[in-house]
Each structure stands twice: as structure tokens, then as C-alpha cells.
Amino acid sequence: MQKLYRECRRSIAYVTVSTSNGDESIGTAFHIGQGYFVTAKHVIQNNKIIEVGITQPQLRTQDAHALPLSEIERPLSLKVISEPIFAEVEADDVAIFQVELQERLPSIKLNSTHDIYQSEDLALLSKVLCIGYPPIPLTVHPFQVAVDATVSALINIRGSEYLSYIVSATARGGFSGGPIINDDGKAIGLVTESLVRDSNAVETGFMACLSITAAADLALKCGWDPDETEYQRDIESLVTVKLALPSTTELNPHEHDFQIYVYDDGRDVFIEISCFSKKEREQAVNAFVAVCPLNIHKIEDCTLLATPVDNPSPKLLKQASYAARDALLDLGYSLVKERYTSGWF
């Protein structure tokens, strides 16, 4: 964990703000490249940013006989050059702002596994690193705090389309906006809130972290343009729809009984429709075919594999997927999650 921490620490900044009543508060933000920083919406919304600062050296292990800091290792005060952009949905506690880019400002890579492909099997009990700037009593400077933790649960926050992680670290003010980083060195979420009952102390609640998918979606809308080594957009997965029977949804909102998947990379197109009920799978296929004719190639286990008869546009493929989805909703299925990309056209 120490090696991982040293690789990430200089990408993480404290954010000091002045609140509407004149008080000073602190939160955390992290650099994702091109000067774009991710933080929690509540850290800066309706507040004035006073300072954004990097306190830690980069890729350097301090020991008892460390040399003085070189110019590229010194702490940085960053200049904010854009108004923050906030997620439109109130429950999505994420914001993006941009600073004047510094040559010696590294970035944290984001996990590219979209929420729709995330699962409890992948997430639970995985080790993560939480880094932020919670105020420490009897100190006068912002000190970076690093905590190793474990993902304890994968949850849905009321009102948000994105997943959230519950991690085992103690929730403290000031961690908000900081990243939780997996053992691959990629941010999988950002600290957003402490889930507590009534007016209990923050430290008694569950530390909740919004999925990094929410931050990536917002950053892309703001102009962030990562290459494939920084973040894979998965444009080829044109359509992914997961649905569940009511009995499944009541017990586990993450699981699904039916999936529609359309792949389109601008050259090759294929469709997978998966369900163990042959009758219901055929009803979805018929609804799809009514909009976009298919060549059925094979059925393996519970999955039907097909390709379009012609060369349909992404728009038509999406319309056919909507029709198949709606046919299942009419049968009583519930929508678990759906994702549509713009495709290559």
C-alpha cells in the first residue's frame, strides 16, 4: 500500500473554501489529467474556493537523510481557471473544476469498468486506499491522510443512477471529494458522505463513495479528453440493458434475469439476447426483429447470438433495443440498469 500511496499522493489536493456564512472549510480533490479535478459537489457548491494546494512530493521516498526538495518536488498552489461544473442530479455528489496545468502535476487513472458491469463479486472485500485532507485537531496546516480500507458493500443511493461503495474506513469531514483507489492504482470512486441515522456523529456512519463512473461521465461532458491508457470509454458497447423479475429485484437490486447487448465498432455488429426462459427470450427477439431484422446464428446456454440482416445505423439498433426492452417490461420485468453510447457515427 505504501508504494501505491507514493504513486498517487501528488495527484491529490486539498480545497479550502469560504462558506456562505463566512466560515472556512476544507475538502479534497484529485487530478484526472489536462488540469481537470474531481471533487464532491457539496465541498464547493455555494462556496468560494480560496485555495487548491498539493502538499506531497512525487515518487520520492523521504527517509532520515533525505535531500532537500528539488523544484519539481515542491508543494504546489494551483490556480482555478474555470467555474465548477456540478452533476445535475441532486443525489449525484460530484463536481469538476479545471486548474492551470502544471508540467509537474501527475494524474490518477480512472477505473474503466462502467457501473453496468460492476458486481458484488468483483467489488466486495477488495482492498482500497482512501486519501484526503480531514482536519486533524491541534494542527494548523492541511495534512494528507491515507487509510487502507476494504469495500464492504455495493449500494444504490436513493435518487442516483450510479452505484456507491461502502468502505470500512472511518468517515470524517475533509475526506469528501477524495479518491478511493484500487490495487491497480485506479480510482474506483470518490468519498461523498457519511450515512448516519438521524443526527448521529459523522464518525458513526458508513463511509459512502460514489462510483467513478459518475465523475467520468461529468468530466467527459466538461471537455476532458483522455486517451485509452487513461480511461476506456467503451463506445463499442452500443447498448447494454439488464432487467430482472420482481422476485429477484425485491431481494437483490444488482442481479438480473435478462440482458440485451449490442456491439457496434463501426465495422462489426452483433447482438446478444440472454435469458434462461426460451419463451421470454423469443418475445424479446421478435420485438427486436420487428424494428431491425436479424440473422440468428446460434443459441448457446441461455444466449442467442445474432447479426443484423442489413447495415443498420446505431439509431435503428437502439430503437430495436428499446422495443425488446419494452416487451419485457410489459411482461412484468423491472429495469435494473441500461446504458447507451453514441456509437461511432
> What CATH number is given to the structural domain containing 93?
2.40.10.120
Q: What is the largest CA-CA distance in the chain?
A: 74
Could you tell me if residue 291 is left (phi over 0), alpha (psi between -120 and 50 degrees) or otherwise beta?
alpha
pLDDT digits (tens, 9 = 90+) for 260-317: 999 998 889 999 999 999 999 999 999 999 999 999 999 998 999 999 998 899 999 9
Pick 219 or 267 by higher pLDDT.
219
pLDDT value of residue 61: 62
Are 44 and 133 in a shared domain?
Answer: yes
- Give the residue carrying C-alpha cell 476494504: 150
Are 180 and 243 in a shared domain?
Answer: no
Are 247 and 100 in a shared domain?
Answer: no
* Overall average pLDDT of the 324-335 stretch: 97
Give the CA-trace dihedral at 276, 279, 280, 286, to 10 degrees.
Answer: 130
Are 170 and 203 in a shared domain?
Answer: yes
Cβ pair 296, 306 in contact under 8 A = yes
User: How many domains, in total, are found in the chain?
Assistant: 2
Provide the domain limits for residue 22.
2-222
pLDDT value of residue 12: 97
Does residue 34 surpass a pLDDT of 70? yes
Q: Give percent above pLDDT 70 in the chain.
A: 96
pTM of the model: 0.90
**One-letter amino acid of 338:** E
Are 213 and 242 in a shared domain?
Answer: no
Q: What is the mean pLDDT of the chain?
A: 92
What is residue 342's DSSP assignment? -
Chain centroid offset of residue 287 CA = 33
pLDDT value of residue 229: 78
CA distance linking residue 168 with residue 148, whole number of Å: 9
Are 148 and 291 in a shared domain?
Answer: no
* Overall average pLDDT of the 134-152 stretch: 93
CA distance linking residue 106 with residue 143, whole number of Å: 19
**One-letter amino acid of 236:** E
CA distance linking residue 47 with residue 42, whole number of Å: 9
pLDDT value of residue 22: 86
pLDDT value of residue 218: 97
